[in-house]
Amino acid sequence: MNWHDRRLLDLFGIEHPIVQAPMAGMSSAQMTIAVSEVGGLGSIAAGGIGDGRGVAAALALGAAAAQVGTAFMLTPEAKTAPLHRAALKAARDDSTTLTNLFTGRPARGIVNRFIHEVGAISADAPAFPPAAGAAQPLRVAAEAKGSSDFTPLWSGQAPTLAREMPAAELVTQLVEETARVLERMGTRL
Ligand SMILES: Cc1cc2nc3c(=O)[nH]c(=O)nc-3n(C[C@H](O)[C@H](O)[C@H](O)COP(=O)(O)O)c2cc1C
C-alpha cells in the first residue's frame, strides 16, 4: 500500500480495508500482505474464497478476516432468483468473466448468450448507470420464456464453491474446515 492508498483510508476513516485484487481469488494474496503490513491495519481478504482452504490461506497471509460472498448464493436465505440459481449450479471454474454490458462498468458474472454474442467488454455499452436498463426489455422477454440468456448472472470467481444449505450451516462448515486446515498446517512444522 502506498502513501496515496494510505491517505484515502485516512480520508474516509476506513479501519479495516477489504482487499480484492482485480483477478480476485488467491491473487489477492499479495495485496493482503501489502495492506496488513502497514500500520497494523487488519485487512479483510475477499474474492474467490468459499471453503476452509481459502479462509485459512487468507489468514495465513496476514488478513484479519475473510469475506465470503458467492458461496452463500445458493442458501435458502439468499434472494438469488431461480434462473440465477440454476446458472450458478451449472457453472464451472472458468464460467465467469468481467463484463460492462449490464451496468456500463466492469462487474463479474457468468457468461451467457448476451456476453457470448456481444463480447464481455463493449465500447457500445451505454455509460453507467443507464446501461442497467438498456438490456432490460430483452431480459424480461427471455426470462418470461425461462431463459437467462440476457440476465445478469453475477458471480465471484468461484461459483463451484457455492453450497445449497442453510447459511448458518455453511458458516459452521467454513469454521470447521478452516480449523482443520490450520491444524494440519500446524502439525506439518
Ligand atoms: C450477486 C452479487 C452482487 C454484487 N453486487 C456488487 C455491487 O453492487 N457492488 C460491488 O462493488 N460489488 C458487488 N459484487 C461483488 C462482491 O462485492 C465481491 O467483490 C465478489 O462477490 C467477490 O467475492 P466472492 O468471490 O466471495 O463472491 C456483487 C457480487 C455478487 C455475487
Looking at residue 37, what is its pLDDT?
Answer: 54
Ligand 1 centroid to residue 69 C-alpha, Å: 7
Tell me how far apart the alpha carbons of residues 31 and 136 are, in angstroms, rounded to a whole number: 36
Cell numbers representing residue 75 in the block: 442458501
Looking at residue 24, what is its pLDDT?
Answer: 46
Query: Which residue has its alpha carbon closest to ligand 1 atom 22?
Result: 47
- Asked whether the beta carbons of 52 and 178 are under 8 A apart, the reply is yes
Ligand 1 centroid to residue 108 C-alpha, Å: 8
Q: Which of 8-22, 140-154, 171-185 is the least confident region?
A: 8-22
Q: Band the pLDDT of 32: cuts 50, 70, 90.
A: low
If one counts every other C-beta atom within 10 angstroms of the C-beta of residue 14, the result is 11
pTM of the model: 0.89
Residue-range domain boundaries for the chain: 3-72+161-187, 96-154
Return the CA Rg of the chain. Answer: 19
Q: Topology of domain 3-72+161-187, per CATH?
A: TIM Barrel (3.20.20)
Query: Which residue has its alpha carbon closest to ligand 1 atom 20?
Result: 156
Task: Kindly tell me if the per-residue pLDDT of 31 is higher than 90.
Answer: no
- Asked whether the beta carbons of 95 and 88 are under 8 A apart, the reply is no
Tell me how far apart the alpha carbons of residues 1 and 54 are, in angstroms, rounded to a whole number: 22
Contacts 24+ apart (CB under 8 A), 11-16: 15/41, 15/42, 16/41, 16/42, 16/43, 16/44, 16/64, 16/65
- Asked whether the beta carbons of 55 and 161 are under 8 A apart, the reply is no
Ligand 1 centroid to residue 71 C-alpha, Å: 11
Closest CA to 65 of 174, 154, 156, 173: 174
Residue 186 DSSP SS3: helix
Instruction: Decide: 159 in ligand 1 pocket, CB within 6 A.
Output: no
Ligand 1 centroid to residue 97 C-alpha, Å: 13
Q: Average pLDDT in the 160-174 region? A: 98
